[in-house]
Amino acid sequence: MLGREMNRIAFKMQLYNGCSAEYKKRHDEIWPELSRLLKKAGVRDYSIYLDEETHILFASLRVGNPKDLDKLPALEIMNKWWAYMADVMVTNDDHSPVTKPLTEMFYMP
């Protein structure tokens, strides 16, 4: 992605109490086809952190075109992953994680 500006995105999600070990295990074993899909959509530097006191997950990533992320919910592998994760985190009716966008307040490259 040399020469192409990357957009930084951050959001939070809610993990169910007592599910942090399982959440981490599932992400340590992320499906290769899901990883390929995210990379194909331009996702880079994707990190998820846990606040162990509140069970809030903080995620950050970089992407070339944020609109490319809008295509992911229509893809079968994305829906399978969301259904797989629905028992460990707060989700919408379609099993997608409930996400709250975060506003960037400071960035130091």
Instruction: Output Rg (C-alpha) for the chain, integer angstroms.
Output: 14
Pairing verdict, β 56-63 and 100-101 = unpaired
- State residue 24 phi and psi, 5-degree precision: -65, -45
Reply yes or no on whether 55 is catalytic: no
Q: Which of 27, 39, 44, 100 is catalytic?
A: 27
**CA proximity to 54, closest of 101, 102, 15, 25:** 15
The catalytic residue positions are 27
